[in-house]
Every structure is written in C-alpha cells, then in structure tokens.
Structure 1
Amino acid sequence: MIRHLPPSRYRFPDPRDAEGDLVAVGGDLAPSTILGAYRQGLFPMPTDHQLGWWSPLDRAIIEFSDLRISRSLSRSCRRFTVVENQSFEDVISECAHVRRPGGWITPAFIDAYTDLHNLGWAHSIEVHDRDGELVGGLYGVQIGGFFAGESMYHRVSDASKVALVHLVGRLAESGGHLLDVQWQTDHLRVMGASVIGRDAYLDRLAEALQGGPVFGETSLGPVPSAPVIPEKGEN
C-alpha cells in the first residue's frame, strides 16, 4: 500500500535551464527528495563522490508498441516464471553487485530504494527458472502512469530481457503512459528503446504523472519552497 509522504526539504533547478545532463548536486536520498526529483524529470546517480541529479538532454524511453521481441526471446519468455515485488532487495543487490562494470548502486542507494519499495513506490520484476531460482530482474519507481526503470540484471541469458517484456506488458495493459530508461545503450536499443529531447520528455512526463497508477495508488505531498540544491558549478 502506498504511504503518503511529507514534502522534501529541497527543490530542484528547472532542468530545462541546464546546459548538460547534470542538473544539480547535493541533497539527500530521502523518499520525498527522490520522488520530487522524478516528478521534475531528474534521477539520482553519484558523480565525483557527490550525489548528482541528472536529466539527460537525450532521454531514452521505450514506447510500448516499439518493444522488439525476437523469436528466441519469445521462446525464453515461456521458459521462465515472472513475479512482481517478491524479492526487491535481492534484485537491487544483484544490480549493485561489484562484478558489474560501471556499477554505481551504493549501499546508500540500496537502502533508499528499499525504503521506497517498503513505502509502495519502488517495484521489482523477478524472473525465476524452472527450478525456482531467481535468475534475473529489474527495479524502478512508479508515480502515476510513469515508470522509471533504474537497473536490471541477469544470471542466465535473456532473463533481464524477459523482465523488461513483462514490465512493458504490465504497463500497457494497466494504463501506463511512459517508460523512462534514462540513457540509450546497445542493449536497450536492441529491445526497441528510442531517444527524445529533454523538453519533449518533460512534456510527456507531465502527462504521464496525471495517469492512473499501475502497481497501486500513489500520493505525494505538495512541493514546498525550500533550499535549492545548487546547480553544477555553483558554490
């Protein structure tokens, strides 16, 4: 069940005014701060040992109708069992595993997103093999009809792709409006991800936030006047 949250201590600069992908640094990973950032088109990720808030100039999204499912992936979908929100901590811990190159999911991020999960805002898709072992999955955050895909992993071939197929189907069937996957990668491009400009993304986001929730009712307090997180380069 979604829990109502108090307003964040922070407000963010307008990402439309930022020259690059990095919009702000500082702040905290409190649930209200993270959700407030997503509502403004930002997401957290470390940068130079600081907490960065990003809104890429070129934003990767997956249009539900553009999802590409090859014949081999279609066969893989029948080989696995997919469930939701049963092993969130296991999924995010696997996504954060040190063996993964370019890893950025620190213990602080694990704690923050696990808190969001316990509050009903963050969700996981879990893929199990025929022996019942967890072999892949993904996690992200939902606000209204918007879902921010944060990270995915697999232990066996196609397991993360199967999780993504399930998520897209869930969003499409339940009235979702926008699946954000942050930056384009070769893996996501193969699955049908495309890139739109930041202004277009922010317009799409505003519409999606008004949509009905996919995983449950959402409620977020008003954004207050509060200390501004400094933009990149400010003192």
Structure 2
Amino acid sequence: MAHEGEILWFSPEMRGVIPLDARFHIPHGLKKALRKRPFEIRWDTAFLEVMRGCADREETWIDARILDSYRGLHEMGFAHSVECWDAEGLQGGLYGVALGKVFFGESMFSRKTDASKIALVHLVERLRMHGFQLLDTQWLTPHLATFGAYEVPRDEYQELLRAALADLIRATNPSPPAVP
C-alpha cells in the first residue's frame, strides 16, 4: 500500500481469503442479478480505468506510485482486471495480481448496483477453471464475508501460499544437478 509517497508491505496476523471450492457462496439476491446478465464481462481491457475507479473515494491507498507500479505489472502480464460494462460504459470491476496459482485481490469498485460483486463471481469462476488454489483478499470485510471469505492466521496463510506457489518456485529455482 502507498503511504505518504512510499510503498509499504503488510503481513497481518490474520489474512482474508475467499474459498475457491464449494464454500464460495453467491448470495441469493446476487444469483437473481446474475441471471439477468446486466453487464458484459471483459478482462484486461481497461486496467488503469479500473484502478482509477477503485481509487475514486475519500480515502485511498492507490496513489500515482501504485498506479505506475501496477501498470508495469499489468504490462508484464501479472496484474489483471475484471470489468463490468454496459451501454453507458465501465460500471465496476476489480483488479489484482496473479502469481503461480494465487490471485492477490487488490481492490474493487461499483458505479452501479452489484457490478463489483458480479466481477468477483466471474473472477472466482475463471480461477477455478485454471486450477488456482488461493484467492487472497488481504483483509476480511463484511462485504467479502457474504461470499464465504474467512480469515486464516499468518502461519496457515503462509502454508497455503507456499503450496499455491510451489510450481512457480520449482520453475524459478530448479534443483541443482546431482553430483556423480
């Protein structure tokens, strides 16, 4: 997060995660909204616009430095956005970073009812389809709890993270050759 021009890293005692298994819950009212298909879902077509939508609030940690950093991650193929569009334009979405089999959700916003929630449902569907193991929300909020999000202690989170990054770690740190 950005604070007074610096980028700070946080490792909270308790970490928010959204389950990618059957524990993921879509609230009843949202199921009805999803059936109506109020938005066209797009991926990575307006990444910076999504970030700006997330930053458009009274207090935000998303400053110019964060925008530039995530733009670079997006250009490298690590940061992604899920967007909800209608005839009037971008109405909501979310963004985050994919690494290994982990998606680190950063922020979400809505200009119209349910837009960020619908983006989240589509994100979970895509993560499941691609075998992701962990959806990190950083913090647990009442809003995310309605989807089945829960907190895990830091040591348990680190184990989940290690498992979800295992293939990536092996690919970047191959075992040394055996000594004859």
Shorter-chain TM-score tier = 0.7 to 0.9
SS in 2 for 1:54: coil
The amino acid of 2:23's aligned partner reads D
2:119 equivalent among 158, 163, 183: 163
With normalisation by structure 1, the TM-score equals 0.67
CA distance in 2 between partners of 1:69 and 1:132 (Å):
26
Counterpart of 2:114, as a letter, is D
> What's the RMSD between the two structures over aligned residues?
2.1
Q: Which structure has the highest helix share of the two?
A: 2
Q: Distance in 2 between matches of 1:177 and 1:197?
A: 17
Matching residue of 2:78: 121
1:188 aligns with 2:127: no
Q: Calculate percent identity across the aligned residue pairs.
A: 41
Match for residue 91 of structure 1?
50
**Aligned pairs (5 A) from 1:45-56:** 45-47=1-3, 50-56=6-12
Could you list the runs of 5+ residues in structure 2 that have no partner in the other structure?
Answer: 174-180
Q: Contact conserved, 1:177 with 1:211, CA < 8 A, in 2?
A: no
Query: Counterparts of 1:101 and 1:181 in 2: how far apart (Å)?
Result: 21
* Aligned residue runs from structure 1 range 36-185, under 5 A: 45-47=1-3, 50-64=6-20, 65-77=22-34, 78-97=37-56, 100-129=57-86, 131=87, 133-185=89-141
AA aligned opposite 1:124: S
Alpha-carbon distance between aligned partners in 2 of 1:173 and 1:132, rounded to the nearest angstrom: 30
User: Contact between 2:7 and 2:66, CA under 8 Å: does it hold in 1?
Assistant: no
Distance in 2, matches of 1:53 and 1:108, equals 14
Say whether the 8 Å CA contact 1:63–1:193 is kept in structure 2.
yes
Q: CA offset at residue 52 of structure 1? A: 1.6
Deviation at 1:221, TM superposition (A): 6.0
Deviation for aligned residue 1:96 = 1.1
Preserved contact between residue 175 and residue 211 of structure 1 (Cα < 8 Å) = no
- Report the count of equivalent residues: 170
**C-alpha spacing 1:137/1:116, structure 2 compared with 1 (3 Å):** same
The 8 Å contact of residues 101 and 164 in structure 2, kept in 1 or not, is answered as: yes
